[in-house]
Amino acid sequence: MSNQNTSNRKFIFWLTTIMATALLIFSVNYFNQKRKLTAGLSPLVENNEFLIESSEQKEEHVRGDIDAPITIVEFSDFQCSFCSGFHPTIMQVMQNYQGRVKWVYKHFPLDSIHLQARPAAEASECADEQNKFWEFADGLFENQLKLGETFYRELASELGLDMSQFEDCVSSRKYKDKVEQDLQQGIASGVIGTPGSFINGQLVPGAVSYETLKSVIDQALSEI
């Protein structure tokens, strides 16, 4: 009986050791992968302070007064129905807070459920080459059920874009890395779904109401 108890204890000891080792290896690999994934990216939120990453630079999509004290950074998906519903809400904010709010758009395509989210994002970057990002983005949200290559060409033509340049840009996937960088920056900053917005650093998840945005903005303005 004593020998059996000793054997059982040895078995439990080695089983526990193996499980602990496996867990340690998994944890190390997981965090190494996560570190590689976010290497070189600057999260928008760090130590509860808002870092507006290059919002003054040309590669960012900024709507409104660049010197406005309040910045809304929205991570969005052109095929997301909640995002299309939220788009007019931020437009209302921009109208009512002219000179006080600027809006930075970043891509967060949910590829697993929205097959056109990434192609639409890349097409919008091609439109941006010809200074038509916001017009193209508005058109995508207004015609969300039409998303696809044919519609991207139709919209580009309606906006008067150089079609040869636009089509070459889209077919070559010229801006795939930029779209992916936005996505990974969103993940690194804590975004888990769309729309996900930061108002001077405060995460406001989901397609919230105008009243909710107004409350957060007014609070941020009072702290300036």
pLDDT bin (cut points 50, 70, 90) of residue 54 is very low
* pLDDT score at 121: 98
Burial (CB count <10 Å: 0-12, 13-18, 19+), residue 14: exposed
pTM to 2 decimal places: 0.77
Indicate whether 127 pLDDT > 70.
Answer: yes
For the stretch 196-221, pLDDT in tens is 999 999 999 999 999 999 999 999 99
| pLDDT, average across residues 60-73 | 95
* pLDDT score at 45: 56
For the stretch 2-44, pLDDT in tens is 555 555 566 555 655 555 555 444 443 433 443 333 334 445 5
* pLDDT score at 4: 54
The answer, yes or no, to whether the previous bond of 195 is cis (omega within 30 of 0) is yes
pLDDT bin (cut points 50, 70, 90) of residue 117 is very high
* pLDDT score at 26: 42
| pLDDT, average across residues 115-144 | 98
| pLDDT, average across residues 183-188 | 96
